[in-house]
Amino acid sequence: MRNLLVRIKYDGRNFCGWQVQNDLRTVQSVFQTVLRDILKENVPVVGCSRTDSGVHANEFCVNFRTGCHIPCEKLPLALNAKLPPDIAAFDCVQVPDDFHARYSCRGKQYRYLILNAPMRDPFLHARALWYKYPLNAKLMNSQARDYIGTHDFSAFCSANSDVADKVRTVTECGVRRLPDDERIIEFTVTADGFLYNMVRIMVGTLLEIAAGRIPEDSIPSIIAAGDRSNAGATADAAGLYLNKVLY
């Protein structure tokens, strides 16, 4: 039996998230069905994360154990011949027996895209948040740096979360306008782990600071208070991408 790690990417617009749900189209259910057809085995697949409905992935990692002897370099080709257009595999490697896509993960990077333009763009529909009022990306970048460090991020976690330990370490965080399309503002954040809706609330808070609804330099006090009501609204899922998985 080999333990294989496959890296995939997907457009989340027409998926109800990663995890299998009864009678709903999810990335896991579609991927497992295709994998079973190729391997001729009923293979349980472990995912690196539980992305929500509408969230995208530039890199999402899955692992599974199989007795099939298809070479690693051939498996992505076989998968892509059967996967729908909104999922693609791009890498496969054999990993140690104790490797687990979720629990072996040391960190992740998320990317959030904002279309900051007076007119919407149909080619970015459900791929970026459309925000028509002018935004100061340099201000947002300076404010985003206050997320860096080890903090209790209770204020940036959905009230529906039942996670007890809300301490996470953010190692990188920043905002910029993309040089090849200055309509697009990109927020990136790397951490050892993320809470439910944490990135979307971080973005929502930056948007409200930029709009003047939350005072500048408030993020440290919002973190310290640990009260969800002090942070900004949860930004829409459409602009969120799981960008990198770190092992």
Find tokens 């993320």 and name the residue. 194
139, two tokens: 């201000």
Are 131 and 116 in contact by the 8 Å Cβ rule? The answer is yes
* Nearest CA among 197, 196, 216 for reference residue 208: 216
36 within a domain of the structure (yes/no): yes
Give me the phi and psi of 120, to 5 degrees please.
-75, 160
Is residue 102 one of the residues assigned to a domain? no
> Would you state the pLDDT for residue 215?
98
DSSP states along 188-216: EEEES---TTHHHHHHHHHHHHHTTSS-T
Question: CA-to-CA distance for 226 and 219, rounded, in angstroms?
Answer: 11
**For the segment 22-77, what is each residue's pLDDT rounded down to a tens digit?**
889 999 999 999 999 999 999 999 999 988 999 999 999 999 999 999 999 999 99
Q: Is residue 187 part of a domain?
A: yes
Same domain, 132 and 231: yes
- pLDDT reported for residue 169: 98
Work out the pLDDT band at 102, boundaries 50, 70, 90: very high
Of 95, 118, 147, the residue at which a domain comes to its end is 95
Q: Are 114 and 135 in contact (CB under 8 A)?
A: yes
pLDDT in tens, 221-247: 999 999 999 999 999 999 999 999 999
Percent pLDDT > 90 in the chain is 96
| Segment 133-136 long-range contacts (CB within 8 Å, at least 24 positions apart) | 133/211, 135/185, 135/207, 135/210, 136/210
Q: What token pair was written down for 160?
A: 């529906």
65: domain CATH number is 3.30.70.580
Scanning the structure block, which residue is given the tokens 């050892």? 192
Q: Annotated catalytic, 52?
A: yes
Which range marks the domain in which residue 6 is found? 2-95
Q: Are 146 and 219 in contact (CB under 8 A)?
A: yes
Same domain, 154 and 225: yes
pLDDT at 222: 98
Predicted TM-score (pTM) of this structure: 0.94
Answer with the one of 41, 71, 95 that is the final residue of a domain. Answer: 95
Do 126 and 74 fall within a single domain?
A: no
Burial zone of 40 (CB within 10 Å; 0-12 exposed, 13-18 middle, 19+ buried): exposed
Between helices 75-82 and 27-39, what is the axis angle to 10°? 120
Q: Per residue in 114-171, pLDDT tens?
A: 999 999 999 999 999 999 999 999 999 999 999 999 999 999 999 888 889 999 999 9
Annotated catalytic residue, options 23, 37, 52, 86: 52
CB under 8 Å to 198, separation ≥6 — which residues? Answer: 153, 156, 157, 168
How far is residue 202's CA from residue 157's CA, in Å, rounded to a whole number? 9
Number of folded domains in the chain? 2
Return the closest-CA partner of residue 50 out of 118, 119, 108, 126: 108
User: Measured between alpha carbons, how far is 210 from 148 in angstroms, rounded to an integer?
Assistant: 19
> Could you say which DSSP state residue 123 is in?
G
